[in-house]
Amino acid sequence: MTIPDDHPRAESLRMRERLIEGMHKNIVAEAGLIAHGRGEAFDYLLGEKTPELAFTQEQVAVAMLLSAKHPVISVNGNVAALCPHDIVKLSEILDAPLEVNLFYRRPEREIAIKKILVDNGAKTILGLEKEFQTDISEISHLRRIVDRRGIYSADVVLVPLEDGDRTMALRKLGKKVITIDLNPLSRTSLWSNVTIVNNLIRAIPEMMDIARSMKTMGKQELEVIVTNFDNFQAIGKMLSFFNERLSLLAEGDLIDPTKE
Ligand code: PTJ
C-alpha cells in the first residue's frame, strides 16, 4: 500500500508497511508484527525522537564494540526488514560481522533474510552455513544455533530487538551484550550490559555517525567510556525521563488537536 506523504503518521505507517511486506516475503516472523506494536507504544512515550540519554547509551555501545576483540551483530527478521542497509553499513564501520540468529528459524526465512542483506551490500553473513553451526546449550529454543566464527566466539554481541532468555544465556557465558529495546523494563533491557532505549530505526544511523567519529580514539580512551557507565542507573534515568515527560504533558504541554 502506498502511504500518502501528507498523512500525519506517514513515517510510522511506512515502517509498518515494511514489516508487513517483510512478513509476506518470509523475512519477518508473524510475532515480529506484535513485537513492533509493543515497541511503537513505547516510542510514543519517548515522543518518537532520540532522548539525550539514548545518545549516551549509543556512545557507550559504540565504544564497547570498537574496543572489543571479536564483536558480532546479531540480525533477526525485524532488523532485516526495517534497516537492512544501515545494519550492513554499521557492520562495515565497526568491523563487526553480521550473524543471522532467529527465534522462529525456518529455511525459507534464512534464505529471505540472506537475500535482503546481500541486496543491501553484505559480503559476509554468518549463522547460515551448517558446517559452522554449533549449539549454545544454555538456550532451549532455536536461537541456540550460533556460528562458531561469530556469536559462539564473540566477546561483545549487539542484539537489536531481542527476547530476554538469549541475553541471559549470553551473559552467563561471559559475553557482553548490547541491546536496542524501546522497552526499558524488558528482561533483555535489564540483563544487558548496555541498553539503548531508542527505536532501532533511529539508533542504527546514529551509531554509524558515532562510530565514524570514535574510530580514531585509542582503546584505553574507549574503555574508560565503557567502565564509567552503569546500565542499571541509566535505565533508572530513562524511567525518570518517561515520568517527567508524561508529567509535563499532563500539566499542560499536551496540545488539544481539536482546538488547533
Ligand atoms: O525474527 P525472529 O524469528 O528472531 O523473531 C524476532 C521477534 C521480534 C519476533 C522476537 O525477538 C520477539 O518475540 O521479540 P519480543 O520478545 O517481542 O521483544 C521485542 C522487544 O523489542 C520489545 O521489548 C519491543 O518493545 C522492542 N521493539 C519492538 N520494535 C522495536 C523495539 N525496540 C527498538 N526498536 C524497534 N523498532
Pocket test for ligand 1, best of 17, 30, 78 (most atoms within 8 A of CB): 78
CATH of the domain at 228: 3.40.50.12640
Report CA(8)–ligand 1 centroid distance (Å): 25
Q: Is residue 217 part of a domain?
A: yes
Please return the burial class of 233, using the count of CB atoms within 10 Å of its CB with bins 0-12, 13-18 and 19+: exposed
Q: Is residue 220 part of a domain?
A: yes
How many whole angstroms separate alpha carbon 221 and alpha carbon 97? 23
185 alpha-carbon distance from chain centroid = 15
**Which three cell numbers, joined as nine digits, stand for 226?**
565503557
| Bridge partners of residue 133, in order along the sequence | 147
Q: Is residue 34 part of a domain?
A: no
Please return the burial class of 24, using the count of CB atoms within 10 Å of its CB with bins 0-12, 13-18 and 19+: exposed
- Contact, 47 vs 202, CB < 8 A? no
Residue-wise pLDDT for 112-163, tens only, equals 999 999 999 999 999 999 999 999 888 887 889 999 999 999 999 999 988 7
> Quick one: which of 39, 29, 135 has its CA closest to 75?
29
Q: How many domains does the chain have?
A: 1
Residue 200 Cα: closest atom of ligand 1: 34
Closest-CA residue, ligand 1 atom 32, reads: 181
Closest-CA residue, ligand 1 atom 21, reads: 161
Residue with cell 540472506: 114
Q: What is the DSSP letter of 161?
A: S
Q: Is residue 77 part of a domain?
A: yes
Sheet holding 98-100, edge to edge: 125-126, 98-100, 71-75, 156-160, 176-180, 194-196
Closest-CA residue, ligand 1 atom 25, reads: 39
CB atoms within 10 A of CB 96: 22
pLDDT one digit per residue (tens) for the chain, 260 residues? 776 677 667 787 888 999 999 999 999 999 999 999 999 999 999 999 999 999 999 999 999 999 999 999 999 999 999 999 999 999 999 999 999 999 999 999 999 999 999 999 999 999 999 999 999 888 887 889 999 999 999 999 999 988 778 898 999 999 999 999 999 999 999 999 999 999 999 999 999 999 999 999 999 999 999 999 999 999 999 999 999 999 988 888 777 777 76
Residue with cell 482546538: 259
Write out the residue range of the structural domain in which residue 88 sits: 52-241
Q: Is residue 36 part of a domain?
A: no
CB-based contacts of 258, cutoff 8 Å, min separation 6: none
Residue 102 Cα: closest atom of ligand 1: 4
Q: Is residue 80 part of a domain?
A: yes
CB atoms within 10 A of CB 80: 28
Q: Is residue 128 part of a domain?
A: yes
Q: Is residue 42 part of a domain?
A: no
Lining ligand 1 with CB less than 6 A are 29, 31-32, 35-36, 38-39, 42, 76-78, 102-104, 161-163, 180-183, 186, 199-201
